[in-house]
Amino acid sequence: MVSKIRCAGFGGQGIVLMGKLLAQAGMMEDKHTTFFPQYGAAMRGGTANCSVVVSDDAIASPMAQEPDVVLIMNGPSLDKFEPAVRPGGWIFYNTSLIDREVERDDVEVFKVAANELADEVGSTRSANMVMLGAFAGKLGTVSVEALLGSLDVMLTGKGDKIMNLNREAMKRGAALAE
């Protein structure tokens, strides 16, 4: 099984961190995994996206050009990546910042009010964690436990308060899928 995931949003939403956490979680579950950021001058203009591949076998290209799953945090990113998803793939999107419907009818859609749920937990900045939790809870590509574990590795040195916020946000997202 191979799963190609694309995370996208605007700079400041923690898109790169989302990708790293996914890859870290995949590694902790002894899967093959790669993380590949969009890099260089393309970063100008405030959008961010990255690719993660999680697989039982060796991974060819780490670039998810035709992703199985996209985790979309803002409107422009939905416009950009909706057409790219593989038919039959999944679009998870942040309805807090996107008020349109997905137009394609050959993909599965999962709506996440990421900002609002993050607000309930205590900080809008954890919206990315809500999205990750929802993805893991729904599809199980990586487990919610592994994602929680990856937080400890990737965010070492952050205070308890931030760690707890992120954990709670992730669990809140995962609960959506139940």
Least spacing, CB of residue 15 vs another protein, in Å: 14
DSSP 84: G
Size of the site for another protein (CB under 8 A): 25
Considering only 1, 12, 44, 157, the residue that binds another protein (CB under 8 A) is: 44
Q: How far is CA 60 from CA 8, 64, 76, in A?
A: 22, 10, 28
Least spacing, CB of residue 23 vs another protein, in Å: 6
Query: Judged by CB under 8 A, does residue 63 bind another protein?
Result: yes
Calpha distance 105→61 (Å, rounded): 28
DSSP 164: H
Least spacing, CB of residue 93 vs another protein, in Å: 25
Q: Give, as ranges, the residues between 90 and 119 that touch another protein (CB under 8 A).
A: none
Calpha distance 77→147 (Å, rounded): 23
**Which residues touch 58 (CB under 8 Å, ≥6 apart)?**
32
Mask 3-22, x = binds another protein (CB under 8 A)? -----------------x--
Considering only 12, 40, 83, 87, the residue that binds another protein (CB under 8 A) is: 40
| Other residues' Cβ atoms within 10 Å of the Cβ of residue 78 | 21
Among candidate residues 149, 115, 126, 135, the one with its CA nearest the CA of residue 68: 135
Considering only 13, 14, 35, 90, the residue that binds another protein (CB under 8 A) is: 35
Q: Give, as ranges, the residues between 123 and 162 that touch another protein (CB under 8 A).
A: 153
Least spacing, CB of residue 71 vs another protein, in Å: 17
Considering only 59, 139, 162, 175, the residue that binds another protein (CB under 8 A) is: 59
| Other residues' Cβ atoms within 10 Å of the Cβ of residue 62 | 16
Q: Given the DSSP bridges, would you call strands 69-72 and 90-94 parallel, antiparallel or unpaired?
A: parallel
Residues that bind another protein (CB under 8 A): 20, 23-24, 27, 30, 32-37, 39-41, 43-45, 58-63, 65, 153
